[in-house]
Amino acid sequence: MDPRERASRLACVRRDAYRLLGSLFLTPPPGEASGLAALADALRETLGEVAPEVVSELTGDLTAREDAAELTDDYRALLEVQTGRSLVPVESVYAAATFDGTSWQLGRLRNEPWHRVRRRYVEGGFRVRDDVGVESDHISCQLEFLAHLCEVEAGAWEAGRDELAMSVRSRAGRFLREHPASWIRRLRQRAADLARTPLYRLAPLLVERFLAVESAH
């Protein structure tokens, strides 16, 4: 296989992984056993080599469930409805978050990280969809931006524009380190405290593992 074609395919694989991870924080789980099995297959195929033990625990739980009632309740409490268990996966909230051993003190929405990611989006030719309904520094938006950069990189390799491809990859690396990688550990720790199902307890850990691989890449 031509090196450019290989690089383009790899960029597309990375794009798909970012989009799958982002969707876990943005859309409710599938409602039926068949949908849960399909999600398990997608996790296994896309991220199984990145974090095999995490993916194995997730997929085992998903395929053993007959319905998504417990997952749906966990999703709503953590990510949809404002409750005492709300995860609020937004960088501005976690950039200043502290944990005293018993409780979390979170930051406020639309602090400096919110402004910085919006500038990076404009520079990278990315626009947050108005119908998404989440903050610009929400983890799903940050992962979608990285997916967007992977797609641009793939196109650059296909067009033989090697310098552009490497420039886009460098932009992605800087954004990854400055933004999602800088706060995913705190999100992962809080999810471990609040989540009642393996999917939402381990989703931030899966993101953390994938970002580590991407940072090295």
Could you report the per-residue pLDDT of 6-29, keeping only the tens digit for each?
A: 999 999 999 999 999 999 999 999
Q: Are 178 and 116 in contact (CB under 8 A)?
A: yes
The model's pTM: 0.95
| Residue appearing with tokens 């625990």 | 57
Angle at 204 (CA atoms; ends 199, 206), nearest 5 degrees? 80
pLDDT at 115: 95
Residue 112 confidence (pLDDT): 95
Given this model, what pLDDT does residue 133 score? 81
In the chain, the DSSP E strands lie at 98-99, 104-105
Higher pLDDT, 102 or 179: 179
Judged by phi (left if over 0) then psi (alpha if -120 to 50, else beta), residue 20 lies in alpha
Q: pLDDT per residue over 204-213, tens digit each?
A: 999 999 999 9
C-alpha distances out from residue 147 to 97, 142, 193, Å: 27, 9, 29
Q: Return the closest-CA partner of residue 104 out of 78, 86, 79, 90.
A: 86
Residue 34 DSSP class: H
Q: What is the pLDDT of residues 87-105, one digit of tens each?
A: 999 999 999 888 887 888 8
Residue with tokens 């794009």: 15
For the chain, what percent of residues have pLDDT higher than 90? 86
